[in-house]
Structure formats: structure tokens, C-alpha cells
Amino acid sequence: MRPTVSFKTIGCRLNQAETATMTARFDSAGYMTVPFGTPSDVAVIHGCAITGKAEHSSLYAARQAKRIRSDTFVILAGCPAETLGETIRGDASIDLTIGQTGKYAIPELLHRLRPEQFPAPGAKPGQSDSIPRFDTQRALVKVQDGCDFGCAYCIVPTARGTPQSRPVSEIMDEARHLVDAGFREIVLTGANLGRYGHPSHNLTDLIALIETIPGVERIRLSSIELTTTEESIIIQMALSSKLCHFLHIPLQSGDDGILAAMGRRYDSATYRRTLEQAVAAIPFVGLGTDIIVGFPGEDDHAFANTVQLIRDLPFSNLHVFPYSRRRGTRADTLPGQIPETLKKERLLALVEMGESKRFLFAERFIGRTVSVLIERVDTAGNGHGWTGEYVRAQIIASRVAPRQVISMQVEKVQGGTLVGTETRKNANLALSSCLL
């Protein structure tokens, strides 16, 4: 019988992309992937360390795997393996910790450790361990890793190191394989995506090349840091028919004093100008951002500045987080730590603002035609997915299938979801059988 492996991914899209590659390596080595939470011979916890809560969740998942089956070989991989280090040595729930550099070679390592139990890696006929395995309807492609911005609150430089970019040829090959597997939307991701460069190609060059791959219908970008490549991306997005009209640009705070204390590389006026430029170039662009509330020194006036900036700008998605102290970061020792109760109060206020803005943005699309990537079809035959602007959508009773990209006429908004009917179907996209 084939040995079994389960994966638990905690954290960002970059982690999700990397898990897909790890899954491919195990598959090629002869393992069968089973859902996490069911008994398995090996359980890989691909953890996160961006906050203390994320680290705790990673350790909890490892202990959960041991409780389900006591002899499961549990591996903690990725960022928490780098940040926790010696502090988890001797943890009975973790058999092995593997940092960033070794996590793609886990099958080889398992065979060396227990050759009688785990098979020697060797690609199965017709299989490749370089094609990521996704169970989603869009494919994530890691193009870059690492960050050297050194924001005061951030542990990423410790967990992932300095910026490194994948070769263009390698990315293009992976994207072609994913299209051949039936994916129509490619999401580009990285620890600091805007820093992509290898060796003479920047992010906009890479996007232009991926657009030429037959079968690629949509390209989506994960988060982009201000002061990297946002201006050229806005221009490219306005001109492109494939680059999704959605920008996620972290703000973190709308107060210049807090931004300086955080070590961010811009002020609120620069941020405002960038988003105004995006809206001027792409009137219906979706705008997402990250906000940290309760950073050390954030008094009522500083928080009010954040509220005002959010109120002024046409955001469609807000991700709000309470500041979490991280040992090893500069912010951990800053004076003016904010009480948890006040953090929660501010967080709830911004979450409410975010919901209101999300609904207002959705209502702008009534009467318009949007492009929807179908992610699931319910029992009534309705297709559910996301527009290029990253708005949830539902196509009423249409003959659609997952991974198709369908044009929809928006008739109404229900609970923040666009609801409408199919206007046309591009025959080149009607690939209902192209499923992994």
C-alpha cells in the first residue's frame, strides 16, 4: 500500500503555493495525499509565523495530528521552523522541523531516516514533481521569496531571508503546465511581490510574458508593497485585458507618525496619491489593503487619522489585524504598548467600515457586465465565483463548470454578492472537462 501524507497549510498565499509544490514532490515519490484530520503516515504542518497566534495555530495543528494517530510522523515546516528554533526542541508532537531550504526535499529525507517505512523518491511514469498540485480552481505561482524592508513589526526577513526571484523560464514552464491542467486564472505571489527581478525582467515584464501563454485568461496579483512597482503595474493593468483589476496595497496605518515608527517607506499622502492614480486609470478597480490597529504609540489622534484615510479612499476589501508583539522585532521593545481591549475596539470599528465599503463597491456593478471565474456550482445549477475586481458573484442557473471564465450581467446585489445571468460564453473557455 502507498504511504499516506496529509498537509495543513496556515497563512498566506505564498504558503499555499509552496504546499502545492510539496504535494507534487510527495505524489511523485509514491505517496497518496489524504485530507488533514484523517489518519496518515506523514503529516506536514506548513506553518506561519507572522503573528504569535499563527505560530500557536501551527503548533496546535501538529499536536492535533498526533492525537488523531499517535505514530504519525509529524513535520513542522516553513516559517515557524525558522522562528521557533530551539524553543520547540523536544516537543513530543513534532518529529522533525524543516525550514525554508529543505521543505521541498522532505520525501528524500524521510527515506533516509526510515528507509524501511518510507519509499525512495522517484517520479512515477507520466508524472512530474515540478507541477504543483492544487485542489482549488485557480493556480498560485510563487515568483519571489524573501524581504529586506525590515518593518518594525515584521518577522518575515528572519523567517524567509533576503529577496530572491525565480528565473523567468521556470515560471513560464510552470504556468504552461498549469494551463494544460485546466487552470484559467494564474495568481502571482511572493513575500514581497513587487521586488521581483530576474535578471533583466521586472514584474511588469513577467506579467506581459505570462499573458502570451495560450489559455491564460486571467492573471491576478497578490499583495504589492508601495514603493516597489505600483505605478507601472497600474499602467499595465489599465491596458491589459488579462490582468485582473484588483490591487492589494498594504496601508497598515493612516498616521504618518505611526508609519514612521513602523519603518514603512511612504507617508499617508503618498499612499493617497497612488490609490487616486489607480482609480483615475481604472475607475472600477478593486482596492484591498491591510491595516494594523494598536501599534505601539497609536493614540486616539493617530487612529482617527487612519479612520479618516480609510473613509476617504474607495476600498473594496479591508483586512484588519490587531498588532501582535513578535520577539525579535524592533516593535516588541517600543514604549506605548496598547491594551488588548482597545485594540479589539478599534479593530471592530474598522471591520464595520470595511463591510460598508465592500457593499458600496459591489453596488456600483449593478447593470454592468463582469467576468467571473467559476469556483463551484451548487445543486440548483448556479455558478459561484469571483470577478476580476475580487467581488463575489453568482450566475443564476447557467450551464457552467468550475474553472470557466464567464461573462455575467449584474442584476442585483445580495449580501455583498453580485447576482446575474450569463451574457455569453467564450468557446475557448468552455472546458468543463479540464479538471485535475
Please calculate the CA angle 355-294-147 and round it to the nearest 5 degrees.
90
CA 35 – CA 170 distance, rounded (Å):
29
Name the CATH topology of 4-113.
Rossmann fold (3.40.50)
Query: 139-363: CATH homologous superfamily?
Result: tm_1862 like domain (3.80.30.20)
Q: Which three cell numbers stand for residue 392?
A: 463575489
β-pairing, 164-165 vs 286-293, is unpaired
Single-letter amino acid, residue 365: F
- Say what the pLDDT of residue 55 is: 92
**What are the angstrom distances between the C-alpha of 435 and each of 109, 185, 211?**
32, 13, 21
Q: Output the pTM of the full model.
A: 0.93
Name the CATH topology of 369-429.
OB fold (Dihydrolipoamide Acetyltransferase, E2P) (2.40.50)
> What are the boundaries of each domain within the chain?
4-113, 139-363, 369-429
The pLDDT profile of the chain, 436 residues, written as one tens digit per residue, is: 899 999 999 999 999 999 999 999 999 999 999 999 999 999 999 999 998 889 999 999 999 999 999 999 999 999 999 999 878 877 889 999 999 999 999 999 999 999 999 998 865 544 566 689 999 999 999 999 999 999 999 999 999 999 999 999 999 999 999 999 999 999 999 999 999 999 889 999 999 999 999 999 999 999 999 999 999 999 999 999 999 999 999 999 999 999 999 999 999 999 999 999 999 999 999 999 999 999 999 999 999 999 999 999 999 999 999 999 888 899 999 999 999 999 999 999 999 999 999 999 999 999 999 999 999 999 999 999 999 999 999 999 888 999 999 999 999 999 999 999 999 644 343 333 333 3
- Say what the pLDDT of residue 73 is: 97
Tens digit of each residue's pLDDT (9 = 90 or more) over 197-217:
998 899 999 999 999 999 999
